[in-house]
Structures are given as C-alpha cells and as structure tokens.
Amino acid sequence: MHHAISPLDGRYAAKLKQHADYFSEKALMYYRCKLELLYVLALDKTALFETLNEQEKENIKDCIDNFSEADYQAIKEIERTTNHDIKACEVFLRTRIGLRNVHLLHFGLTSEDANNLAYTFMLQAYWKEVQLPQLEQLLEQLITLATQWKNIPFPTRTHGQKASPSTAGKEIAVFLNRLTKMYAALKTFQFAGKINGAVGNYSASLAAFPDFDWLHFSHAFLEAQDLEPNLATTQIEDHDRWATYFNWTRQINNIVLDLDVDCWLYISQGLFVESVQAGEVGSSTMPHKVNPINFENSEGNLMLSNSLLTLMSDKLCRSRMQRDLSDSTVKRNIGVALSHAYLAIAETTKGLKKLKINEDLCRKELEESPELLTEPIQTILKTVGVEDPYTLLKNVARGQKPTREMLLELVNKLDIPNATKQQIAALQTVNYVGDASRIADLVIVNAQKVLAR
C-alpha cells in the first residue's frame, strides 16, 4: 500500500476501508452479478421458462450473500479471454450457479442494463449505509455546539468589518439549518434505472416472447429494487438522476466548505480555540502552534471532490447517439469523488469536536466596540421622528472610533422623550443580539425532528 499512486489507497486507506465494499473493482463485479441473478429470479416468476429448482435458488442466494475473493478472481481470469467484463460475469455465473438453463442469464439484456444498475446499486448502498449516517453525525455535532453556545454573545463580520453582534450558537445554527435542508432532501432521494435492451425498446425480449409485457415486467423489477424506472432511454440510462445526486452531494460539500472557512477564520481571530491533542505537533520549528488542520484538510478534500462531481454531472449526462465508451473510465472514478467528500466531512466533524469558544474574548471585543450600537440607536430614533438619524450617527461613527459616552452625549442633546434616552442608555453591545437565541432553538428543534424521521 505504501506504493499506492492515489492517497485514497495509500495515506488515507485505513480511513476508507469500508469504501472498498462499494467502489472497488471487486464491488463492481459483485453488483453486476447481483443484478444478473436478481433478474434470473424475476424471470423465474414469469412462467416463460422452466421453473428453477430449490438447489438453483439456493446457489443464487449463496452467490449474492457470499460473493468471495475467489469468485472475483475467477471473473477476472475469464475476462482475460473475453476482454469484456459483463460477458465474464455471465460466463462465471453459468458455473457458479449451475443453472440447468444457462440462457436465463442476461436474457434479452445489453451490457448497459447490467452496468447502469450495478453502479446504481453501488451508489444506493453507499448513500444509505455510509453517506447519510455520516451526515447525521455532522448534524448531531452541530446541534451540540448550537445548543451549548446559543446564548453566548458573538462578534460578527460583514465584508471583514465589525457588524452587529449575534450569538455563537446562532452562527453555528446557520450551517445546521442549511445542512438539515440538504440532508432532508437527500434522505428522500430515489435513484433511477433501466433494463430495456440494446436500444431501449425491449426488442430482443419481444422477439422471443411477443405476447409478454416486457415494459411492465421491467418496471416492476426496478420498483422492487426501490428504483424509479426510466421510461425512454437509448442503449444507456441517461444518468440525469445521477447528476442530481452528484449535484446535491456537491452542494452539501459547498456548505461544509463554507463552515470550514468560517471556523478557520474564527480560530485565526482567537474567538474559537482548539483543544490540544497529546503528542500532536503544530510546527517543525514553532512549538506553540495549534493548527486548524482538520478544517484545512477538509477544505482541500472538498475541492477535489467537487471538481470530480462537477465533471461527472456534466459528462455522464451526454453520450454520442445510442452509446459511446467515453463515460466508462469516468464512472470508475465515482468512488474517488465520494471518498474525498467522506474524508472531508470526517475531518470537519473531528475539528468541530475539538472546538471551544473563547467567551471572554468575544465579550471583550463587543464591549470595546460601542460603534455597534449606532444601528439600534438610529433605529430607535426613527420611532420618535428624528430627522435622518442614520446620517446623524454616520457622521459620528463612520471611519472613526466613537466612545459610548460620545454616542450618549449626542442622544442627550436631541429633543426627544426622556424614556427614549433611557431606552438608548440601557443598550449594551453584549446584549444586542436580537432573536438569535430563539432562532438557534428553532433550528435545533427542526434538525432533531428531521433526524428522528
């Protein structure tokens, strides 16, 4: 493994062991065989052929449940002769299953019937068994931080400049809210597929059995696999649904990337700090450093993932006429794109678990920024009819550093009710957070409901 070309199979291999079950060459061969065998079982129920005996059914079940390394190697050995991976699977299954009627295998199908469904089975399994659970872990960690920090005053920035205060929990809740919506959409996602022959018309199957409704049969087969049948296709499935899945995954990546960058910036400003890990080194020469490496690692992996996902969303929806092979090598990299996303989200979640908030610094920065009160002051002054209070406050505060006393002196000189002056005098930057805490609470409750569904 130390000679691996890709870091996915080298440096990061230990973190991606389970991914081989979905995206390796062996996994692809398994899902191709699984498709072929499920189709045989479906054909057996049509009464068009001699019924399978119990031993044949048991052999099919055993191959699906116990596909082995030896099975995979046997397919690869056959492929050396056939130079065709789908045909190699078919030839292998003839021996492995011991069917009396070997013609049940791949009956009326084209290679792309097996391929589109094999890849879709892979994606469907990964989506359900790995991707959604990982997102749930990220959401749970964001819920924890948003809950713990929902009442802690927090200095914000717009255009990199000081802006009206918020709470730390509400700022975390922004990302929780965005990811919850994407998770809820992704959780209801349904993949599509086709199993309709060489140019999508069931021509070979109808030639053999013209009175059988092959369209209805194939749609029922796909629906039994929790797939939406694609009614009209060329030789290949159009992969428009794959593109939707890749784009949704890419959008999740973008939200996480935004979170990574904000966490990095807050750490650089000292507002967030990271817990120290025993034995960890932040620099080869500067012993004091605690670097935000989890967020940086995540950022790089997300950019790699998004580059590939964008390519796949664009490329895999296009094919010359009925079929060309330019998509073949691209599809083989689906696991690369999703593995980089997995690594990234794992790093982000790990980084979030190390985060602490420097509450004292947050309060200190707000207390030393009375200019932030110009927004509420000018808004209150509007309610009592002061002419152009925005300009009044701008002249005192823009590009300057007004003190609290300067602002109150300006207000006290105005001909306004004493109650209004007292209302303004009571303003404190650390308390000027609006409905931030309630917003955080509502986001948290909604996220918990979505996760509980």
pLDDT (mean) for 281-309: 79
Report strand pairing: 153-158 vs 192-193: unpaired
pLDDT (mean) for 7-20: 94
Count the domains in the chain: 1
Separation CA 380–CA 365 (nearest Å):
24
**Residue 402 belongs to a domain:** yes
Residues 237 and 194 sit within 8 Å (Cβ to Cβ): yes
What CATH number corresponds to the domain at position 374?
A: 1.10.40.30
Separation CA 399–CA 344 (nearest Å):
40
The 3-state DSSP class for residue 199 equals coil
CA dihedral angle for residue 213, residue 214, residue 216, residue 218, rounded to 10 degrees: 160
**Residue 381 belongs to a domain:** yes
274 bridge partner residues: 355
Least confident stretch, 80-84, 162-166, 184-188, 287-291:
287-291
The 3-state DSSP class for residue 355 equals strand
174-196 per-position pLDDT tens digit: 999 999 999 999 999 999 999 99
Tokens of 164: 């009206």
Confidence (pLDDT) at 400: 83
The answer to whether residue 315 scores a pLDDT higher than 80 is yes
**Residue 404 belongs to a domain:** yes
408: containing domain: 363-431
354-367 per-position pLDDT tens digit: 999 999 999 999 99
Model confidence, pTM: 0.94
pLDDT (mean) for 199-214: 98
The answer to whether residue 411 scores a pLDDT higher than 90 is yes
Tokens of 398: 């823009």
Confidence (pLDDT) at 437: 98
The answer to whether residue 278 scores a pLDDT higher than 60 is no
Residues 116 and 193 sit within 8 Å (Cβ to Cβ): yes
DSSP 239-285: -HHHHHHHHHHHHHHHHHHHHHHHHHHHHHTTSEEEPPPTT--S-SS
102-120 per-position pLDDT tens digit: 999 999 999 999 999 999 9
370-410 per-position pLDDT tens digit: 999 999 999 999 999 999 999 999 998 888 889 999 999 99
Average pLDDT, the chain: 95
**Residue 411 belongs to a domain:** yes
**Residue 405 belongs to a domain:** yes
Q: Which residues are catalytic?
A: 159, 283
**Residue 100 belongs to a domain:** no
**Residue 378 belongs to a domain:** yes
